[in-house]
Structure 1
Amino acid sequence: MKLGAFSVSLSVKDINKSKSFYENLGFQAFGGDITQKWLIMKNGSCVIGLFQGMFEKNMLTFNPGWNENAENLNSFTDIRDIQNQLKENGIKLLSEADETSKGPAHFTIEDPDGNTILLDQHR
């Protein structure tokens, strides 16, 4: 199972203050749209997402089909296949991807400690 690029998605109160804080830690804007209150930032191979008002808690995020530079991978496990494998392993899904669809989709799960994990395929 290839989960793809990993990042931490942070629910922030003030996107501009958070952007400035992480810039002081050496992160640079990599993607997103600050006017829409979301921004992807990188420091080397470390990736974080800043999201204001989009979700309640911080999340671990995996992007099947992408590497840490948001470049398409030649080979990856489709999100629907990952979803089915997790179901077979008894993992409860909080939300599900439409198994009849193709291309972009997402689903969420929760680890035993209540941490939300988003699997978000963009291609």
Structure 2
Amino acid sequence: MKLGAFSISLAVKDLSVSKEFYEKLGFTVFAGDLKMNYLIMKNGNALVGLFQGMFPKSILTFNPGWDENATALSSFDDVRKIQAHLKSKKLKLEQEAKEESTGPASIMLTDPDGNQILIDQHV
């Protein structure tokens, strides 16, 4: 099962302060907008999403169909295929994709320690 590009989506208190901190670690703005309260920061193939006021805690994020440059992949495991696999393993999903749908969709689950995992397909 291929989950796609990985990033961590951090719930931050002050987006500008967090941006400055991650820039000092060598990250640069890859996507997003301060006015929209989010930035995607990149350092090599490491991605850190900074989100102010969008969700209460940080989330592990996977993007099926994308590489770490947000370039569409020609071959990938569709989020509905991933969903079916996870359900076959008896994992509880908090959010599911409509099985009969196609294209962009997302699913969400929580690990045993309460960490949220978002599998978010954009293609």
TM-score range relative to shorter protein: over 0.9
Within a 5 Å distance, the mapping from 1:1-123 to structure 2 comes to: 1-123=1-123
Please state how far the C-alpha of 1:97 moved relative to its aligned partner: 1.3
TM-score relative to the length of structure 1: 0.97
Alpha carbon RMSD of aligned pairs, Å? Answer: 0.7
Instruction: Determine what percentage of the aligned residue pairs are the same residue.
Output: 61
Please state how far the C-alpha of 1:35 moved relative to its aligned partner: 0.8
Please state how far the C-alpha of 1:43 moved relative to its aligned partner: 0.7
SS of aligned partner of 1:86: helix
TM-score relative to the length of structure 2: 0.97
Distance 1:41 1:97 in 2: 27
Gaps of 5+ in 2: none
Gaps of 5+ in 1: none
CA deviation vs aligned residue, 1:42-87 (integer Å, no higher than 9, x gap): 0111100001111111111000000011111110000011011100
Moved over 4 A (4+): none
Please state how far the C-alpha of 1:100 moved relative to its aligned partner: 2.1
Aligned pair count reads: 123
